[in-house]
Structure 1
Amino acid sequence: MTFPGEDLDSETLTHGQSSPAHDVTTFAGRFALALRGESPHAFSKRSGISGTMVRKYLDEGSLPGLDKLLEIAEHTNVTLDWLAANRGPMRPGSTIMISGGSGTPEGFVSVPKLDIRPSAGAGSMAVYEESEPDIFAFREEWLRRIGVSPKFARLMVAQGDSMRETINDGDLMIVDISIREFIGEAIYVLVYGGLVRLKRLQLLRSGVLLLKSDNREYATEEVPLAEQPELIIGGRVRWAGGAI
């Protein structure tokens, strides 16, 4: 099983707002994502690659030669395979897979896989932690950097396309299960209307809670104050295998 790399901007997650979507199927999209908001001019000065070439890579999607690919990968802290061909993890060394019986290397912590299901009765949920022969371990420092305490980090698999292109069906997510209430606009795993949802929540001044989908084919849902006790938050998404 292959686990996507560190595709998510930790500062974006901390502030609960999404960064612009990047098409990681193109080199230009991967390069833009790797820059993590840094301007082409600043990257050019830092890396020594001419500004003209940087803009050509970003605007025209031209694929650099191997020497320039290596320089870009080194200066953006991404793997060469991911940058050149969208293969393997984006970031080096953020996660490893541990076979059954193996110990967790120093500096890494194992992250259990979580399954959230609606329970009988309005506004309730059942939480199951799955035990698998192969589990994933993440660098403790990286988990803290994206804003989640290792003991509250859980791994989940996204289902459905309501959050496409931010989070796609089948993407792996790290969910902070210490967050069980709305704390600001962000993406949450929740149970509402008898269904497990993955939604971006926004609170209006009127007190109405909006359930927003990043896929524009889905309409925004309104949860009035009277119905909000029926909405149960299971955790906040802090990282996903897609580009947030």
Structure 2
Amino acid sequence: MGERLKSLRQGKTRTEFASIIGVHENTLGGYERGERSPEWGFLTQLRETTGVDLNWLVEGNGTHPIQRGDSGAGGGFLPIPKLDVRPSAGPGALVPQPLPNDDEVVAFREDWLRRIGVSPRFARLMFARGDSMHDTISDGDMMIVDVSIREIVDEGVYVVVYGGLVIVKRVQLLRTGGIVLKSDNPRYEPETVPVDEQPELIVEGRVRWVGGEL
């Protein structure tokens, strides 16, 4: 069962996946290595979060969830909501909090979304504005954001709300506990978020794709 459980991560680190399903990463690691048997509460939470068939997970019977949706109506395409907000790859776009609700959808293949490490239920479309993340992200680029990621677990490109601004930045964790918001465009200086201001930094998701996988 450990290997089947591990396969549900779909490109996420153990820390990221543990955060999504609400357990400590050491607990998840023990389940994946077969050192302990999952409790029923964990299994039901996993089913609610990922939609996994527990019969497949525990007994190995049935169909792997990644294989679902590749055939049948719609050819395996799923509607992904588009958020009516443009995170700024620049100084920051002032918007009300929280982020607006989904207002449009665009269809993507379920198997492709899973290959880039995003569960379809947590995928959202956003469009960037500004040039601070150029050449990685250009003005107007479509981004697929994994909104299940609500905390910074390692370096990557995230959509965050900071100081009332929605921005997309490369985020780096410092050994001192600080957080650096970095632009890929060298014309922009990095910004350090002090430890005492980190509660004001709201992570809205991690960018997984922008005209190419991240």
Q: Smaller-chain TM-score range?
A: 0.5 to 0.7
Alignment partner, residue 197 of structure 1? 167
Between the aligned partners of 1:106 and 1:228, the Cα distance in structure 2 is 43
Q: CA deviation at 1:137?
A: 1.1
Q: Normalized against structure 1, the TM-score is what? A: 0.53
Alignment partner, residue 162 of structure 1? 132
Q: 1:236 aligns with which of 198, 206, 209?
A: 206
Between the aligned partners of 2:213 and 2:149, the Cα distance in structure 1 is 22
* Higher RCO structure (Cα 8 Å, ≥6 apart): 1
Q: CA deviation at 1:118?
A: 3.6
Mapped contact 1:168–1:242 kept (Cα < 8 A)? no
Secondary structure of the residue aligned to 2:133 is: coil
CA-to-partner distance for each residue in 1:141-164, whole Å, 9 max, x for gaps? 110111110000001111111100
User: How many residues matched?
Assistant: 137
Between the aligned partners of 1:183 and 1:138, the Cα distance in structure 2 is 27
Residue correspondence of structure 1 range 57-68 to structure 2 within 5 A:
none
Alignment partner, residue 207 of structure 1? 177
Between the aligned partners of 1:166 and 1:200, the Cα distance in structure 2 is 10
Instruction: Mark the structure with the bigger radius of gyration.
Output: 1
Mapped contact 1:189–1:199 kept (Cα < 8 A)? yes
1:126 counterpart = 2:96: no
Mapped contact 2:116–2:213 kept (Cα < 8 A)? no
Q: CA deviation at 1:125?
A: 2.5
Q: Normalized against structure 2, the TM-score is what? A: 0.60
Secondary structure of the residue aligned to 1:112 is: strand
Q: CA deviation at 1:242?
A: 5.5
Q: 2:81 aligns with which of 98, 105, 112?
A: 112
Mapped contact 2:133–2:183 kept (Cα < 8 A)? yes
Q: CA deviation at 1:14?
A: 5.5
Relative distance call for 1:185 and 1:157 in structure 2 (3 A) is same
Q: 1:182 aligns with which of 128, 133, 152?
A: 152
Secondary structure of the residue aligned to 2:203 is: strand
Q: CA RMSD in A?
A: 1.9
Secondary structure of the residue aligned to 1:105 is: helix
Alignment partner, residue 150 of structure 1? 120
Secondary structure of the residue aligned to 1:127 is: coil
Q: Could you tell me the percent identity over the aligned residues? A: 58
Between the aligned partners of 2:210 and 2:132, the Cα distance in structure 1 is 14
